[in-house]
Each structure stands twice: as C-alpha cells, then as structure tokens.
Amino acid sequence: MMSRLTTILTLLTFTLLTSAAFAANSDRLPFNPDKIPAKPKAENAVRFVVLSDANSSYGDTTYRKDVHDLVRAVTQQIKPDLVISAGDLIAAQKRGFGADILKSMWAGFDRAVTKPLKNAEIPFAPTPGNHDASGYPAFQIDRDIFRSYWQHPRNMPALNFVGWKNNFPTYYAHSYNNVLFLSLNITTMEPLSSEQWDFIEDALAHSKEYDFIFASSHVPPYPIAHGREKQCMTPQDAKRINELFAKHNVSIFFTGHHHAYYKARKQGLNLISLNACGNGPRKLIGTDTPQKQSLIVVDIVGNKITNVFALKSDNTIFQDETLPEKLVYEKITLHRFDSKNRDAEAKK
C-alpha cells in the first residue's frame, strides 16, 4: 500500500511540476527557423519587421549596401504587414547641424527606406533614437525636424493609432489585427519623464483587449554590447519597466543603440536587442566578433508567436543557438531567451 501511495504521490508531483514549468515557459520565444518561412496566410495572422540603427557617418545622406539589401528583402521577400523602428534612422546629434543638413539626411532616408516601403504599401512606424531625435537640450532642432518630417502628410504612416496621436512620432500607440504596439521615447541615459510614465501605464491599463503587446525604444534597459555597457536606461527605470511589462504580459521589448543582436529573457520579460542594419555592428559582451547587419522578423498566427528571427543582410538567418548563454556586466546578468535560470522568470 505504501509503495502504491508513494508511486501516486510521485506521479502527482511530476505532473504538477511539469504543468508549472509549461505555464512558466508557455510564452517563451522560439528558436530561429531553418529557412525563411512563407508569410502566414491565416486570416488573423500578422507578420512584422523591426529594424534599427540604419544610419551611416555624421551627416551622411546615403546608406550602405546592407540597408538597401535588407529593405529589398523586406519589400520583395518578407512582405510584412508593417515595419517597426527602434531608432537612429539618420546620423544627426552633432552640434552645428542646421535645418538644411537635417532635412537632407531625412530626404536620404526617404529615398533609401520610406519610398521603397511606401511603394510596397508597407507602413513604417518610427521610434526616436539619439541620432535622429536626441532628448538632450542641445538638440532641440533635431527633435523639431524629426517631428516635422514624420508629421508631414506625405510621410505620415497609415497606422491605426489607438491613442496619443498628438505625440506622434515622439511616443504613441497603434494596433494591427488586435496586436498593440507601443513606441517609446528613450534616447538618453536620463530618467524617463513623468509624462511618458503616464503614457506607458495608461496604455498598459487599457491593453487587455489585445492578443499581443510589443514595445520598442532606442536605449535598452540592460548592457548588451562591448563599449556601450553604461549606455542604458537608469537602473530604477529598467527595473520599473521590466516589472510593468512582465505584469501586463508584453510579448517582446525591442531596443537598439547597442548594435548587437541578442534574444534574452529577464524576470518574465522577453527582450530583443537589435543589431544595426547600417554602420557599426558591435561585439556582444564577452565575444570577439561583431555580427553581420540584420533586422528582426516576427510571425503571429492565432494566439501564438510562431517565428522570431534575425535576418542578416546577406539573406541568411542568424543561428540563435550560437548566442552566448548569458551576458554579464558588473552586477547585471542577462540570460538567453531559452534559459532555465530563475532570473529569467517573473518574481512571485
């Protein structure tokens, strides 16, 4: 009798532990596919692309071949429903740049990115970066030109704004097929403004009707790349945004600025740091070689994220299994998206 009872208790314990593990891991991101998948055709399916750091050297009005190759892949092969940015589309944030040079750089971006996407009827959702709309006081003109470019009727994207349209393109929310997208204004290492916290909390408070929530900003919450370890959100803001996003089931928080691809999970939140698609890919912390320029492709079918992968500018897929199992800088550890470490899950 005791042997049978022991067996039953053992099986019950295993079942409970397995169920708990599945629940904890049910929103984990998948590894990359072996090949570029066809665009999902289901009625409720969504495919979107995220790109970041497309710019070249200060003042440049042209874009490197990698950018053109990736844009061509997006318009001719990936064919997403929309493209999201994580910032740094032009190369400003330099004292002495006036309206003429800023407008000429945006005209260059228009030729390289906006027009090809528009011709393919793919809307583009911008997010401010430090090189196109720096939040530091000295770069007010950058912010003014950034707003005037995107608010011009010729450039205003065909997005379904769900609030804060008057703040576009600084920070705002939009949706597509019951998926909510939040674009944040994080271009400095300074604390976020109370106004932006109000926006984030209000948007999340009204997000329950959506099947998925994605957020994008330029500066990341945690160190990713060698040489930019200190260029992150304040520790207080990083903690607060991680807790808020995990609590409200944000599916992925996309960031740029560090110019290195990493798919991570921390305290219940999936994070993806984007590599540059333009100049200057950087080495991940603890690695020796920068990655090839890339962007991110996401597929959603029904209630599941079916694909999340980095497409490189040579039209090959980045192999997620080659990512370091963790990134460590001082007292901060960031674990890979598939980690079983307790720090990857939300704190109870």
pLDDT at 14 over 90: no
Q: Is residue 7 part of a domain?
A: no
pLDDT at 346 over 80: no
Tokens of 114: 């906006």
Q: 38, exposed or middle or buried, with CB in 10 Å at 0-12, 13-18, 19+? A: exposed
Query: Is the Cβ–Cβ distance between 254 and 84 less than 8 Å?
Result: yes
Q: Is residue 24 part of a domain?
A: no
pLDDT, one tens digit per residue, over 260-313 is 999 999 999 999 999 999 999 999 999 999 999 999 999 999 999 999 999 999
Which CATH number do you get for residue 209? 3.60.21.10
Identify which of 180, 325, 329, 303 has the alpha carbon closest to the alpha carbon of residue 250: 180
Q: Is residue 25 part of a domain?
A: no
pLDDT, one tens digit per residue, over 321-341 is 999 999 999 999 999 999 999
Q: What is the span of the domain harbouring residue 170?
A: 40-344
Look at residue 251 in the predicted model and tell me its pLDDT. 97
Of the two residues 1 and 222, the one the predictor is more confident about is 222
Q: Is residue 270 part of a domain?
A: yes
Instruction: Find tokens 């470019």 and name the residue.
Output: 149
Count the Cβ atoms, other than its own, within 10 Å of residue 195.
11
Identify which of 227, 245, 338 has the alpha carbon closest to the alpha carbon of residue 286: 227
Report d(CA 101, CA 35) in Å as an integer: 41
pLDDT at 16 over 50: no
| Strand residue runs (E) in the chain | 46-51, 82-85, 124-125, 160-163, 172-176, 179-183, 212-217, 252-255, 262-266, 269-273, 294-301, 304-312, 326-329, 332-336
Look at residue 26 in the predicted model and tell me its pLDDT. 45
Number of domains in the chain: 1
Look at residue 347 in the predicted model and tell me its pLDDT. 61
Look at residue 74 in the predicted model and tell me its pLDDT. 98
Instruction: Find tokens 């959702």 and name the residue.
Output: 125
Q: Is residue 191 part of a domain?
A: yes
Tokens of 81: 């429903």
pLDDT at 115 over 90: yes
Give percent of the chain above pLDDT 90: 86
Look at residue 1 in the predicted model and tell me its pLDDT. 46
Look at residue 27 in the predicted model and tell me its pLDDT. 86
Q: Is residue 4 part of a domain?
A: no
Q: Is residue 9 part of a domain?
A: no
Count the Cβ atoms, other than its own, within 10 Å of residue 40.
16
Q: Is residue 17 part of a domain?
A: no
